[in-house]
Amino acid sequence: MDSHDLLDIRSLDKEDVLFLIKIAKDCERYNDMISYVNEYADMVDIFTEDEIKLFEEAYKFPLNKKRSNYLYFNGLSNSPTISETQKKNLNEYICKISTEITDLCYIFFCIIERKLRFTINNTCKSLYLKLKADFSKYLLIIGSISGEKVFDYYIEAIDCANNLRCTDEIKLRTVLNFTATCSECYKDFTKVFSICRKTFDDAVNNLEQLNDQEFEGIRVLLESLRGYVCLGGSF
């Protein structure tokens, strides 16, 4: 998106920019969506929960595509069937993709940090920290950060989510993603599984607080957590 387009966006009010974000999403024009989201982030101090989800989607789809390309080309560069010249060309593209992933994550993290300064709602704060941890996995894949750093991001998110209900969907998703990621990249897997087990047990012991609709909303999450609890019990 060129500078002329950005100037046009800045002349709009926030409701019109939010509309553009949704239109870009429906058209799957994620580069446009990112530009609109970044402008919208400058217009408001606090995102609503729905706006946080739009913010996530804007960055998630391009990053997923770049991650897939990185993994494919990285694997191809190690193939014995390609020449040294082809390998050199592939490595150049791998470096470009790594830089693009790093740049997108940096902007994403900067916006999260800005929003956290204005956020007092525990639900939104937990969601921001969950996203920061989730998106750190892109940096882990390209080797920009360590598994220990990803673990720390998730612990920060979980500590915040502990202020929510034991059965809160954001809390359960945070711990589920934490367990799925850190059971592979963090050296102390017993600590990972112990956090998973406690979260699962606490949620199960408080199911009576939920109505049928609320239970249906977290049923799959609990089943997934139970799978990791069983896996952790085998160590």
Render pLDDT for 157-216 as a digit per residue (tens, 0 to 9): 999 999 999 999 999 999 999 999 988 887 788 889 999 999 999 999 999 888 888 888
**Domain residue spans of the chain:** 154-235
Torsion sign over Cα 219, 220, 222, 227: positive
Tokens, residue 138: 């892109």
Percent of the chain with pLDDT over 90: 77
User: pTM, whole model, 2 decimals?
Assistant: 0.88
Q: How far is CA 214 from the centre of its chain?
A: 24
At residue 210, the pLDDT reads: 84
Average pLDDT per block of 10 residues along the chain, 235 residues long = 54 90 95 94 91 95 96 92 93 96 97 92 94 96 94 96 94 95 82 93 91 87 92 62
